[in-house]
């Protein structure tokens, strides 16, 4: 347990030091790219966008702060706690909180796609005017 509370330096963790700050940068930049692409792709689906928000922010904050913590020598146990908390929040959102909401939204999308809208009666339809525009009659 003593090694976990020692300062995180290249001398105490020679094989893990470089991997931690490189992984922090790569994961943070990768999540920013995925989030940007997802914002454009799923702009019409608010439930999926909310899921991406819940996954994006813990990952970016948790892994984005790791390079700073590695460089200043924060103990490994604190870095591990931050990363595990961030990953737990992202897993909770992806596997517990949002699947029922996304399933309900998918059912609604399927219902809208395959159930035709109710027919309008002739009185509800607007009639063309002599000029060619449609105007509501009273």
Q: Taking every pair of C-alpha atoms in the chain, what is the biggest distance, in angstroms?
A: 89
Is pLDDT of 5 > 60?
yes
Compute the half-sphere exposure of residue 126: CA atoms within 13 Å on the CB side of its CA. 8
pTM to 2 decimals?
Answer: 0.74
The reported pLDDT for the residue numbered 130 is 64
Cβ distance 112 to 77 under 8 Å? no
Domain boundaries, the chain: 2-115
Give me the mean pLDDT over the 32-39 stretch.
95
Q: Which residues have CB under 8 Å from 9's CB, separation 6+?
A: 17, 73
* Mean pLDDT for the stretch of residues 110-118: 79
Alpha carbon separation from 85 to 5, 41, 44, 80, 92 (Å, rounded):
18, 28, 30, 8, 10
> Are 73 and 9 within 8 A, CB to CB?
yes
Residue 133 pLDDT: 60
Non-local CB neighbours of 58 within 8 Å, separated by 6+ positions: 85, 86, 87, 89, 90
Whole-angstrom CA distances from 23 to 43, 53, 90, 104 are 29, 21, 17, 36
Cα–Cα distance for residue pair 98/103, rounded to 1 Å:
8
The share of the chain scoring above pLDDT 90, in percent, equals: 62
């Amino acid at each position: 347990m003593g090694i976990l509370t020692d300062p995180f330096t290249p001398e105490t963790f020679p094989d893990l030091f470089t991997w931690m700050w490189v992984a922090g940068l790569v994961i943070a930049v990768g999540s920013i790219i995925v989030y940007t692409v997802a914002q454009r792709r799923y702009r019409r689906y608010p439930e999926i966008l909310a899921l991406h928000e819940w996954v994006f922010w813990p990952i970016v904050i948790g892994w984005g702060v790791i390079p700073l913590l590695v460089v200043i020598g924060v103990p490994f146990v604190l870095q591990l706690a931050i990363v595990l908390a961030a990953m737990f929040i992202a897993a909770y959102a992806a596997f517990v909180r949002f699947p029922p909401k996304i399933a309900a939204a998918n059912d609604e999308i399927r219902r809208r796609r395959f159930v035709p809208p109710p027919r309008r009666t002739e009185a509800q339809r607007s009639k063309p005017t002599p000029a060619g525009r449609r105007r509501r009659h009273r």
